Structure 1
């Protein structure tokens, strides 16, 4: 069976458009925030709002508290190490090469459950929430140790999280007082 496939004229801009973006391994704004080291690999400003990507190093026991996004879907790809993910009321374990998609509105978080720092990629669709790291993180300087982090430091960030349509949620089931 043969098919005749129409090929656009050589003057069609699809032949010559160069709108792709290469971000090399050493590029991106790197910030310390909440005990994690995060590099914004690409932002909404670079992708016309469609995508934000983070590469994060998470220390053992580290990761965000449970929360839900009101504006973006998130996807996670584990580069190395072992993570526990909260997905609504379910916990899942994921390791190198595993991928998890979390639709907006779902309670979630991740925790590095291994003995060493672990790395993952976070994809945010649409982009924009990566601005939280850019606006609130501490610039990482090569050779400088991680600044100390105390969960009490989250308090001043709650207003900023609200601006980003992020709702902090309890880790476990709600206590109904019974």
Structure 2
């Protein structure tokens, strides 16, 4: 039967934004040998599938430094340390798009571990219904974001055609499909 490996030592070896690099020393529960593991200590984040009164989904376009290109995604971002994921989702929607959702119209539809082999953070996905425009975006210095509304069929086509490739965004639409099956 599998056992958790025993953590013997933890050391931060590199600090930056948005993540730190940790060196973790473990003991193998079977061989008792020691093993060094390196983990990205990253903040949790929240993604928001925001749907308007026409049943259209709010999408954002922004440049991503990892792929060096403009990506098509849904609103979302890092949670502040200790921030409630639901309130963080509400904040990110407002900051990135200028749209607002009341907390009672925001429901968690799924959670994924980012990459459990090398990361320690999670991504929370929320469904935002009954959104309203407040107007102004409040972007971070590293953000330039345009947004648009798309039908659910358009979103499926964006995924099929490779225009939406972010795994966490695709997971969000999977959670949305499962949510609809339950209702």
Query: TM-score, normalised to structure 1's length?
Result: 0.29
Query: TM-score, normalised to structure 2's length?
Result: 0.29
RCO greater where, 1 or 2, for CA within 8 Å and sep 6 or more?
A: 1
Higher-strand-fraction structure: 2
